[in-house]
Homo-oligomer: A and B are copies of this chain.
Amino acid sequence: MDLIEKMTSSELIFDGKVVHLYRDTVELPDGASAIREIVKHIGAVCVVPLTDDGDVILERQYRYAVGQILTEIPAGKLDYPGEDWTEAALRELREETGAIPRDLYDLGDFYGSPAIMGERIRMFLARGLTFSERHLDEDEFLDVVRMPLGEAVTAVMNGEIPDGKTQCAILRAARMIDEKRI
């Protein structure tokens, strides 16, 4: 089946600091038209930082959009469109945890809500960590916590880590190591 939807008109509804909302009209595969409300986003990275002791470094922070304190791996937006994913990952990891990795493994892309949001997140696993000082953004407030990778997997399986990218990246990192892919 031809599945592609073609844009016939596009209206910028809100051009915010993070959210760029469009209301587009598209032509469906059968020729009918439909409205697509979509959020464009610059893109982001997230990193599973694994210490030599086998601990994952996690962050607890309040997420206003969901009204909860969530446990997440370090993550952040790209600084500019097209920024190198690896550079962004190294920067965010260092800023939020102070960690500098010897090895950075690509865990692939993550689309958190592809029906309405363009945000693409590239996931990484970082090993061989050394530590310097962390430098949080002005409006970032977070607690750093550590737990063994196996405990983090169990926490994911028990529903204690509802953040999508964190579940996904931890399960993929654990399976990569279990399968001796790295």
Contacts and interface: CB of A to CB of B under 8 A. Distances in A.
A13 B117 CA distance: 17
A17 B37 contact: yes
Interface residues of A, number: 74
When all copies of this chain in the complex are counted, the total is 2
Contacts of A157: 172, 175-176, 179, 181
B172 A110 contact: no
A168 B164 contact: yes
Contacts of A120: 66, 162
Contacts of A13: 13-14, 21
Interface string A140-168: 01110000000001001111001111011
Given A172-B167, A176-B157, A66 B111 contact: yes
Contact of A113 (B38, B69, B117): B117
